[in-house]
Structure 1
Amino acid sequence: MTLDRVAARTPDGHTLFSDLSLAFGRERTGVVGRNGAGKTTLLRLIAGLSEPVEGAVARAGRVGFLQQDAGPAPEATVAAALGAAGGLAVLARVLAGEGSADDLTEADWTLEARMADALGAVGLAGLDPARPVGSLSGGEQTRLRLAALLLDAPDLLVLDEPTNHLDREGRAIVDAALARWKGGAVIISHDRALLRGMDRIVELSALGAATYGGGYELYAERKAAERAAAEHGLEVAARDVDRAGREGQRAAEKKARRDRAGRAFAARKSEPKILLGAMAERAENSGGRENRLAARRAAEAAEALAGARARVERVRALDIPLPTTGLAAGRTVLVLEAVARDAPDGRRIVGPVSLRLTGPGRLAVTGANGTGKTTLLRLMAGELAPTAGRVERPAPAAFLDQQTALLRPDETLIGAWRRHNPGATPNAAHAALARFLFRNEAAQRRVDTLSGGERLRAGLACVMTGALPPQLLILDEPTNHLDLDSLAAVESALAAWDGALVVVSHDADFLAAIGVDRTVDLT
């Protein structure tokens, strides 16, 4: 797979990337970059689902594409999702003695064994081919779609966030399946455990693509070094601009002194006019050269400073400032006493769970998909009433779910902030949103135009910057849809925050980074 000087633009004409040249072979490549950099667009170009506006894409093999949240209809069977329904039907007719001559020719006697291998590779061994896809969990459906690709055995796998929404076991299964894969793979992911197994990392930005050999750790080291070098380059460039300014000022002052001395000498009228004219011309030429040299140095220094600022902007980490809460170490913020929640049919969804959270503790709720983690968070936040037991929230709390549902798609950020902070002025809204990097016109953006990372920042701005910021923050899978830069910013902000946290996350790196000290396992 080769991309030669490829460019891609959004429907409104915004350039995502241009003059992009990359080649992919039998290695595992992780694709990273900030939200909006064009990562999914790049994968669609590779898969042949989109065409570049400039440049060319050449394919020398078959490509299999796993898109985010795109799969077979719920009523489809597992066999159909695997692309094997027709082949299994042929085998069934032959084995029943009802097959035609064409059936005998087309029969693939390895199909069932290959299906079993593909399903086993993604942790779905023994899955009934006749089972409806809709009866599987979301994580199982994602793994089924990956099994379909493994069964098809393309030359290049192209995967868009394959571990999103998977529990820890599902992530490990996908990681192991890709480690055994013998072909090429191009994978968009912010899952650092998955990225550690890559042969190289390609970072996409408006400036193009930068390639880093090795997995996530080497990439992170190189990025840190680039960030330090860019900051140092900015300091040097700023000093050069200052020095060029001083040199220009000295040149101007030197010329002014020469001019004054020349006028005083001419006023004495002790030399012939022709000599005085020659001396004046020589002085003017000399002063002009010095001024032009100083101006050129100043322009070069200013250009270097602009370039240094651009490099720093490209690698500078995001910053999300969370306000202090003043939460006392001994204050109780959450109490659950034998809390449980049942479905309308009487089926137990979660519980009973008992716990007490005091001070700025960090509690992780873990468990496989379908064990009731989100339901438990909603009980903690007061969005659901328990079927049994008691929930107590003595401290102000805020809940951010996976979709950041506290934001309405058709409202602006200013409107959302003021809805959550009634009585506040527009100036207060602008100031609060600016602290979360939504400055000036960005504060007027509609919620439905935001990326996943931007939605989380906007949600935090709405609940954390009011007159009474919460002392307890409840977060459901906050790292889903975050790029690596936004992920690092969220980790840094939560690690430094002095409030209490309850978090559902399958990202072990994230839980370690924010300092989780207790775990409730619902498995």
Structure 2
Amino acid sequence: MPAITLSNLSWATPDGRRVLSNLDLSFTSERTGLVGRNGTGKTSLLRLMSGELTPLSGRVTIDGTIGVLRQELLPDPDATIADLFGVREALAVLDRAARGDARVDELSDADWTLEARMEAALASVGLAAEPDAPLVQLSGGQRTRAALAALTFAAPDFLLLDEPTNNLDREGRAAVAELLAGWGAGAIVVSHDRELLEAMDAIVELTSLGATRYGGGWSAYRERKALELAAAEHDLAVADRRVAEIDRRAQAMVERKARKDSVGAKKGARGDMPRILIGAMKRRAEETGGAGARLADKQRDEASSAAAAARERVEVLQPFKVVQPPTGLLPGKIVLRADGLTFGHVSGEPLIDDFSFDLTGPERVAITGANGSGKSTLLDLIAGRLAPWEGSVRVGVPFAMFDQEVALLDRDATILDNFRRLNPVADENACRAALARYMFRADAALQTVATLSGGQLLRAGLACVLGGPTPPQLLLLDEPTNHLDIDSIETVEAGLRGYDGALLVVSHDAAFLDAIGVTRRIAIG
């Protein structure tokens, strides 16, 4: 049976930072989702399996063939879909045969079913394109679909897929999910797409402590994590009670000793006992008290250590929660009105044509549509970054826009300085408290924005905008979950669930839209 086995596998970055340590894992002919926070080594692990990276120690053993889908890179200018499939010359033979120019030896080796099989492979991912189509002329999503079709066409024993649904629209995501649902061999999928992960046979979670395998898809994995959190919370409660009990017993022992010392002192003062006996009793009491104090200190240290370990487990497993200041948005207020918007990037070719809609009160609305249909352009028109050719847009409340770069933050300033700039009336304590709610405590608030990861960047933006005394009553969000790990996505979801204003969101992530309470979808294009 085909298998990929990792034995005592370790790997470090070129600067010596240890990423993977002593991993022992085995993958067989099932679909496995590989999850974990950014930086835990998910992509590196795929590259170790594919042979692109060399282990620091340990080994990777592959029994079977593999096909690899990497995160998108710009293709060569002259590369075509046929090059992805590795069949450019084979197709050229068929072309020469059709013209009557093929040699006899070429005709005997020709694969007459090749074109039909390629067409079927491309159709399986919802892509209708000719084999000679240049890759540079395809969108990022179309190139991903073509690469997936080429992988399945080769029929390897294992697919290694790195974020296969990134940059795909709803239709593209559905095509990838359908392809994997019908895939009968092995697949190892790095993804933050929870719908895709739901269809997995197993989930492997990478953390700084190693790898843990969970049977079933995403929901089963989350249920197990919830049980782990409940167990950790129980252990913390037991540990805290243990610390309190030890403190209570230690205090009682101190009080008993004080009472005995007081009685002895009174007897000595009355002269009821010989001086030598009084001295011996004093020494014995001190020795007994010292031994008791040392034992109490040891028990307290052990109990405190157990409580600290349990508290750390709870903090790691506990879902992020935050309470936002209210926006004061009234239910019936017209938040924005777009009337007859028309705009395009090429003269005479409107991308958005006579588009109208209203958003009222704290509605949560998603703008949906295929890649290239103008969703991000619509947000730019609403935000005033672009001027429409025709029509008008009116935003009737204070708003903030979160694009994928979170451009509202000054990248050369610290998180704290950005908060002060966006909330000039907030004092130092209010600034610190607001940032702490988003896990930027103490020196973490002094990080320069340019040094933040994608998840930290979006979290910092939400902290600076929503943590102020009066948050804006409308948020515009453009693909906020792209390139974020799942922990970061769930942090953003928690922040948005605590926000009581209006949302207008562009996203292909259905799980994200459901989690933040989107109630209306408007199709564009």
Regarding TM over 0.5, the answer is: yes
Instruction: Identify the residue that residue 221 of structure 1 maps to in structure 2.
Output: 223
Q: CA deviation at 1:456?
A: 1.2
- Which SS does the other structure have where 2:443 is aligned? helix
Selected match of 1:237 from 236, 239, 248: 239
Alignment of 1:54-203 (within 5 A): 54-70=57-73, 72-93=75-96, 103=106, 107-125=110-128, 127-203=129-205
Change (3 A) 1:68 1:407: farther
Q: State the distance in 2 between where 1:411 and 1:92 align.
A: 60
When residues 246 and 343 of structure 1 are mapped into structure 2, their CA distance, relative to the original with a 3 A threshold, is same
**CA–CA distance in 2 between the matches of 1:278 and 1:90?**
108
Aligned to 2:47: 44
Matched residues in 1 for 2:414 and 2:95: separation? 58
Whether 2:307 is the aligned partner of 1:305: answer yes
**1:445 shift after superposition:** 2.6
What residue is the counterpart of 2:509 in the other structure? 507
Give the C-alpha shift of residue 301 in structure 1.
0.3
Q: Specify the SS of the correspondent of 2:482.
A: coil
Q: Which deviates more from structure 2 when the two are superposed, residues 478-487 or residues 362-371?
A: 478-487
1:520 and 2:522 aligned:
yes
What residue number does 1:487 align with?
A: 489
Q: How many residues align?
A: 522
Work out whether 1:393 is the aligned partner of 2:392.
no
Deviates more, 1:260-269 or 1:456-465: 260-269
Q: Is the Cα contact below 8 Å between 1:248 and 1:298 reproduced in 2?
A: no
Equivalent position of 1:458 in the other structure: 460
Give the superposition deviation at 1:142. 1.0
Aligned partner of 1:217: which letter?
S
User: How much does 1:173 deviate?
Assistant: 0.5
**Could you tell me whether the CA contact under 8 Å between 1:398 and 1:473 is conserved in 2?**
yes
Decide which moves more: 504-513 or 440-449.
440-449
Residue type of the alignment partner of 1:170: G
After superposition, what is the alpha-carbon deviation per residue over 1:44-79, rounded to whole angstroms, capped at 9, x for unaligned? 222222223343322223332222222523542111
Q: Deviations over 1:205-261 (max 9, x none)?
A: 112222211011111111122222222322221121111112222233334444454
**What are the Cα deviations for residues 392-422 of structure 1, in whole angstroms up to 9, with x where unaligned?**
1111111111232334555443454455456
Taking the aligned partners of 1:320 and 1:138, their CA distance within structure 2 comes to 35
- Which is further off, 51-60 or 299-308? 51-60
TM-superposed CA distance for 1:373, in Å, is 1.0
2:28 equivalent in structure 1: 25
More off after superposition, 403-412 vs 62-71: 403-412
The CA deviation at 1:355 is 1.5
Change (3 A) 1:335 1:368: same
Farther off after superposition, 245-254 or 348-357: 245-254
Per-residue deviation, residues 312-368 of structure 1 (Å, max 9, x unmatched): 122122235443210111221101111111233311101311112121111111111
Contact 1:320 1:490 in 2 (8 A): no
Task: State how far apart, in whole Å, the 2-side matches of 1:380 and 1:296 are.
Answer: 64
Distance across 2 between alignment mates of 1:48 and 1:410? 38
Q: CA deviation at 1:169?
A: 1.1
Cα pair 1:72 1:81 within 8 Å, conserved: no
Distance 2:64 2:413 in 1: 46
CA contact (8 A) 2:72 2:140 kept: no
**Amino acid in the other structure paired with 1:60:** D
Alignment partners' CA distance in 2, 1:423 and 1:280: 64
1:503 CA displacement:
0.8
- The alignment's C-alpha RMSD in Å is 2.9
- CA distance in 2 between counterparts of 1:456 and 1:133 reads 32
Which moves more between the two structures, 417-426 or 194-203? Answer: 417-426
- Change over 3 Å in CA distance of 1:343–1:68 after alignment to 2: same
Q: Please tell me whether the aligned partners of residues 74 and 135 of structure 1 are also in contact (alpha carbons under 8 angstroms).
A: no
Equivalents in 2 of 1:256, 1:428: separation in Å? Answer: 46
SS at match of 1:406: coil
Identity %: 53
Secondary structure of 1:348's counterpart equals coil
Task: Judge which range, 381-390 or 111-120, deviates more.
Answer: 111-120
One-letter code aligned to 2:39? G
- Cα deviations by residue, 1:356-396 (Å, 9 ceiling, x for unpaired): 21211111111111211111111111111111111111111
- Contact 1:90–1:106 under 8 Å retained in 2: no
The 3-state SS of whatever aligns with 1:365 is: strand
In the TM superposition, what is the alpha-carbon distance from 1:87 to its structure 2 partner? 2.8
Amino acid at match of 2:191: S
Q: What residue number does 2:356 align with?
A: 354
Picking from 287, 295, 299, the partner of 1:293 is 295
Aligned partner letter, 1:147: A
SS in structure 2 of the partner of residue 480 of structure 1: coil
TM-score by length of 1: 0.90
Measured in 2, the distance between the counterparts of 1:321 and 1:478 equals 20
> Which structure 1 residue ranges, 5 or more long, are not aligned?
none
User: More displaced, 439-448 or 380-389?
Assistant: 439-448
Q: What residue in structure 2 maps to residue 445 of structure 1?
A: 447
| Cα distance in structure 1, aligned partners of 2:303 and 2:14 | 38
| Residues 466, 499 of structure 2: 8 Å contact kept | no
Secondary structure at 1:198's aligned position in 2?
A: coil
Q: Counterpart in 2 of 1:329?
A: 331
Question: More displaced, 248-257 or 397-406?
Answer: 248-257
1:367 matched residue in structure 2? 369
CA–CA separation in structure 2 for the residues paired with 1:10 and 1:416? 32
User: Where do residues 263-302 of structure 1 align in structure 2 (5 Å cutoff)?
Assistant: 283=285, 286-302=288-304
* Range 13-22 or range 344-353, more displaced: 13-22
Q: Do the aligned partners of 1:360 and 1:499 also contact (CA within 8 Å) in 2?
A: yes
Q: TM-score, normalised by structure 2?
A: 0.90
Instruction: Please point out which of 462, 473, 498 is paired with 1:471.
Output: 473
Q: Is the 1:404–1:455 Cα contact (8 Å) retained in structure 2?
A: yes
